[in-house]
Structure 1
Amino acid sequence: MSLSDNIYKIIFYTTLFVVLSILFFTVDTLSISYKEALNVFINNSLLSIITNTSIAIFGQNDYALRAPFILFYFFSILLMYRFTDNLFKKESDRLLSILIFMLLPGLLSASLLVNSAIIVTFFTLLYLNYLKSTKRHCYILLILFLFIDNSFAIFFLALFFYALKDFDKKLLISSFILFCVSMALYGFDTGGKPRGFLVDTFAIYASIFSPLLFIYFFYTIYREGVKGNRHIVWYISATSLAFSLLFSFRQRIYIEDYAPFVVIFLPYMVKNFLQSYRVRLPQFRRKHRYVASITLFILLLNATLTIFNKPLYLFLENPKKHFAYNYNIAKELAAKLKKNNINEIESDQQELLLRLKFYGIKEGNRYFVSTNKKYYYDKKISIKYLDKTVATAYIIKN
């Protein structure tokens, strides 16, 4: 290994350490959402097992709630780094690819929130690394996927299409059976009338990648398919993207079911761009440099706003339109209620009650608390970010 390769490795691990540090810092700026609270207190799922195990070990706090998903992010980055070994001719290209992957806004969000997306990303990359190392499919992992998350139905379907290419009978039959079992276990909602959610799905993908990056990603998927460069990652990403767009004609989809299989194609997109850039003479590369610079700038901006998003409240007339509003407010409200010796409440907002329960505010009938506007109240508590009021709680003593 050359000295320059070692330097690139140092840059990678240093950047990963910095990003992980920022993610752990960001945990303290978030509050538990209602859906996350359901996984802690009500649901009985893999997410519930993961979060409650962590809470049992480290206590009922935000770090215990979110640390498992940051760890899944960490191992996903390492697996992607390992998977891209020998994919690029230059170690600098590999570094660029993994840094972009590391800073994808959707991946950063998934690492901080209690959701299955980062878990699915991790296990998908684990499977691909096993396949790359052994040249064999791991059927034990495939069976395990059946019980991890319903979104792996798309993965099984992609493997079915991939097996058709080489007519791999074992994989063909196995993936088909696993897909059918997944459908039987979880079902698939295809009801509803066309509602025009296709544009919404494009917008969500654009937010996951950043807009210009997604446009080029979409082009690369199409180009690689037309040229016949259909490796297994292409089948996984193309199948997921195609079905997510197809179902968007009829209903609003859960992007978490599709995005993990789409983002893993990113290294091939970077490789495609660099090849397209280098086949041109230096004097004809200017346009590519401009587009790449703008794309990377927007990516860094989106990644920064994903983490440091509180200042956006200053530009919104209605704070509830902030994309992270559902992950704010509760922690600060609980702290102010405790400061006023209010530890037991009732409310007309059951979602708020469940969120506050995580921070030690129990249900009781001594006080009534609501963030819905009240004209008669005993006390009013304002939650402010950067000196702007983003929520107001009204307290009535019973």
Structure 2
Amino acid sequence: MTATGKYSYYFYTLLFILVGVLILKADLSLSISYKEALNVFVNNSILTIITNTSIYFFGQNDIALRLPFILFYFFSVILMYKITENYFKYEKDRFIGILIFMMLPGVLSASLLVNSAIIVTFCTLLYVYHYNKYKTHSYILLIIFFIIDNSFAILYLALFFFSLKEKDKKLLYFSLILFVLSMYIYGFSTDGKPKGFLVDTVAIYATIFSPILFLYFIYTMYRAGIQKERSLAWYISITALLLSVIISFRQRVYIEDFAPFVVISIPLMLKTFLHSYRVRLKEFRKIYNILAILIIGMLSLNVIFTFVNKPLYILLPNQTKHFVYQYHFIKELSKELKSRNIDNLTGDNELLLRLKFYGINQGEDYYISMKDFYNYDEKITIKYYERELFVVYIKKLK
């Protein structure tokens, strides 16, 4: 088997194993969150269409809810693999690059959640792949992206700057018009009172990449910029990064709007790192070896915590600080309610909407609350590792 064939086999084997584990995780460990329930039952968006189409074909269950986003992850990884063909000198380097992309906290976690981040990642990689393969810009894709999500305004702005470099008037006018229209119709999602949120933004980016990898990302963007190694992917990533930083000086930004455009620069980061590593003699590579070990170690921990995170409740004094708290307990609660023949509930609207996904109806037979009240009839406690983490109180009304 050639080196290319060997690493291709490793890649596809690992990818299918990882997708299989993601499906198991969706089925066994996660419950629908309130925001996800809104997308299923209330909102009218691309996420609503995608989730309800999947539920229509595969039934109202957690696999059907999350399967489309796992598939977007699968095809995003495939696209990144195709994009990096002939990008690295050695096939081993290509394999390492795609492995890092697959293990990125922001990419891996987005594949399990009902949000637009992994969709935007896929679409952006599709655009870059088309450009790299055909050396032309797909204006049809840009129009389709306009319909899909507001965050593509970032891509349009990046293409505007890229068109200035390439002296491409058609792309310049097209991207500028789409950017203006996108800002006029959608705007950018921001939150909070006008004040500085730069530290929050940097912290979230460090979580999406891992801290050391994010610092190296900044260095790579700077180095490529001053050395004029400015590819299309570089323009997209640097535009997203700088725009999010600028906005965060005055408003809280939703990083999921920006992160998909930043993570596509993983191949550039690895190529820069490997070049710096290999031009040095062995005795001067120690710092690079340490960096590599730390990055791989952090990414490995991310994979572990993505799939096995419930034990963290044992260590946290406040369970609500768990990073997936909002995706736990409801499935277990619905099973407990069904075992007690409790249905037709009224009470907390957010809780009721989440329970609706698991077949618990809204009605006037019982009242349910997450807050204690003096005359409740039943108390249901959800425990992980013998620790009480989620409690509801129920009163029979009829």
What TM-score does the superposition give when structure 1 sets the normalisation length?
A: 0.97
Q: Is the 8 A contact 2:151 2:188 kept in 1?
A: no
Corresponding position: 1:243 with 2:249: no
- The code of the aligned residue for 1:157 comes to L
Q: What SS class does the counterpart of residue 112 from structure 1 fall into?
A: coil
Q: Which residue of 2 aligns with 1:388?
A: 387
CA distance in 1, matches of 2:307, 2:221: 29
Cα offsets for 1:126-171 (capped at 9, x unmatched): 1111111111101100111100100000000000000011211010
Q: Is the 8 A contact 2:22 2:112 kept in 1?
A: yes
Residue 396 of structure 1 deviates from its aligned partner by 1.0
Q: What SS class does the counterpart of residue 111 from structure 2 fall into?
A: helix
Q: Which residue of 2 aligns with 1:335?
A: 335
CA distance in 2, matches of 1:53, 1:270: 38
CA distance in 1, matches of 2:189, 2:209: 26
Q: Is the 8 A contact 1:192 1:250 kept in 2?
A: no
Residue 196 of structure 1 deviates from its aligned partner by 2.6
Cα offsets for 1:53-87 (capped at 9, x unmatched): 11111111111100000000000000000000011
Q: Is the 8 A contact 2:190 2:253 kept in 1?
A: no
Q: Which residue of 2 aligns with 1:50?
A: 50
CA distance in 2, matches of 1:32, 1:86: 41
Question: Where does 1:91-106 land on structure 2 (aligned, <5 Å)?
Answer: 91-106=91-106
Cα offsets for 1:353-382 (capped at 9, x unmatched): 100010011111111111123333111111
Residue correspondences, number: 396
- The code of the aligned residue for 2:24 comes to F
CA distance in 2, matches of 1:72, 1:166: 31
- The code of the aligned residue for 2:78 comes to L
Corresponding position: 1:137 with 2:170: no
Q: Which residue of 2 aligns with 1:17?
A: 16
Cα offsets for 1:17-42 (capped at 9, x unmatched): 11111101110210001110011100
Question: Where does 1:199-214 land on structure 2 (aligned, <5 Å)?
Answer: 199-214=199-214
Q: What SS class does the counterpart of residue 253 from structure 2 fall into?
A: coil
Once the two structures are overlaid, the 10-residue window that deviates more, 353-362 or 224-233, is 224-233
The 3 A distance-change label for structure 1 pair 192 and 352 is closer
What TM-score does the superposition give when structure 2 sets the normalisation length?
A: 0.97
Q: Which residue of 1 aligns with 2:372?
A: 373
CA distance in 1, matches of 2:162, 2:379: 60
CA distance in 2, matches of 1:192, 1:329: 29
Question: Where does 1:56-135 land on structure 2 (aligned, <5 Å)?
Answer: 56-135=56-135
Q: Which residue of 1 aligns with 2:349?
A: 350
Residue 208 of structure 1 deviates from its aligned partner by 0.8
Q: Which residue of 2 aligns with 1:305?
A: 305
CA distance in 2, matches of 1:103, 1:299: 6
**Which consecutive segments of 4 or more residues in structure 1 shift more than 6 A?**
none
- The code of the aligned residue for 1:74 comes to F
The 3 A distance-change label for structure 1 pair 18 and 190 is closer
Corresponding position: 1:34 with 2:10: no
Give structure 2 stretches of 5+ with no counterpart: none
CA distance in 2, matches of 1:371, 1:251: 32
